[in-house]
Amino acid sequence: MAQAEKTIRLQKIIARSGIASRRKAEELIQHGLVTVNGETVMTLGTKVDPAV
């Protein structure tokens, strides 16, 4: 499976985990309140590998 096929939008992962709704997750990202591997993510649509 190609890398692009394994990645999911960050806001979807946040919503699936029960932390926040997808819309609220988008707000959190836009306000710089979400980090991935120690780096702040502020771009909606950022894709990450949920297995990592």
Reported as a single tens digit per residue, the pLDDT across 23-37 is 999 999 999 999 999
| Cα 7 from chain centre | 10
Identify the segments of the chain with pLDDT beneath 50.
none
* Domain assignment of residue 12, yes or no: yes
* Domain assignment of residue 11, yes or no: yes
Q: Up-side HSE of residue 10: CA atoms within 13 Å toward CB?
A: 21
Q: How many domains does the chain have?
A: 1
The continuous run of DSSP H or E covering 9 comes out as strand 8-9
User: What is the Cα–Cα distance from 5 to 52, expressed in whole angstroms?
Assistant: 14
User: What is the Cα–Cα distance from 32 to 5, expressed in whole angstroms?
Assistant: 26
DSSP designation for 20: S
* Domain assignment of residue 22, yes or no: yes
* Domain assignment of residue 49, yes or no: no
Range of the domain at 7: 3-43
* Domain assignment of residue 17, yes or no: yes
pLDDT at 17: 95
pLDDT at 2: 60
